[in-house]
Structure 1
Amino acid sequence: MEYLWTTITVKSMEESLEFYQNVLSLPINNRMKMPSGEIVFLGDGETKIELIYHEGEESFSSGKNISIGLSVENLDAFMEMLKEKGIPIAEGPFAPNPSLRFCFVHDPNGVRVQLVERT
């Protein structure tokens, strides 16, 4: 079995793309219009993030106990860039062992994104 993608239903596709493309540097892999919205796949690795926007959908939950994890080369530099862009750190940074550090931010839909530095 192969893990393919994680799907996130979004409030605003453009706001979500601003975050995932311009903050997290995930490129668009595929973009498809639907009669009632749009689907965008992001990432150039094996596993993708799928954003789905449904026109007229006003209420949904992203799952408060779920997070997606992405690696960063330098957590301190990444947190500084987030600060410059006005994106608050929701939790952390944490260092559970000498070779791992991470923090959490929220995407525009409230999804927890874990940013991980491995040394």
Structure 2
Amino acid sequence: MNLSLNWITLRVRDLEASLNFYHGILKLPLQRRFESRGKQIAMLGREEQPKLELIQGNDPALKPECGVSVGFEVESLNDAMEYLQSLGIPVARGPIAPNPRLRFFYVLDPDGFEVQLAEHSKE
């Protein structure tokens, strides 16, 4: 069996607030938006990468306390922190440097899910 990651789903309370965060602030491209079985759904991400699927509803399959986080690579951790803080989005945890080649921090999305932004050094 040869598997590749297709998407990760987050069930959100307010799709517009989540789209503002993931598309408006984090700049993830909005690939498509549609309705299925009465639920509003948005798929975000770059063409060649796995997608983040946001489903609006009041029956979350995952709650923020479950320990799941969504991680993204950034070119500059310092620039990402500065940008988010300028928009009033506080750092929830970090920055953390578990080894010389990796640094990351977390912010919270509108539903309280942790979003990790990480910078890997080339050396």
Q: TM-score, normalised by structure 1?
A: 0.91
Aligned partner of residue 87 in structure 1, secondary structure: coil
What amino acid is aligned across from residue 49 of structure 2 in structure 1? E
Deviation digits for residues 67-117 of structure 1 (CA, Å, limit 9, x no counterpart) = 111001001111011111010100000111111100011100111111000
Gaps of 5+ in 1: none
Secondary structure of 1:83's match?
helix
Q: CA deviation at 1:30?
A: 1.4
Partner AA of 1:62 in structure 2: K
Aligned-pair identity (%) = 41
Which range moves more in the overlay, 27-36 or 83-92?
27-36
Q: What stretches of structure 2 of length at least 5 have no aligned partner?
A: none
1:102 partner SS? strand
Specify the code of the residue in structure 2 equivalent to 1:6. I
Pairwise CA RMSD of aligned residues? 1.3
- Runs (4 or more) in structure 1 with deviation over 6 Å come to none
Superposed, 1:70-109 pairs within 5 Å as 70-109=72-111
Q: What is the rounded CA distance, in whole Å, between the counterparts of 2:91 and 2:33 in structure 1?
A: 29
> Is 1:8–1:62's contact at 8 Å kept on the other side of the alignment?
no
TM (normalized to structure 2)?
0.88
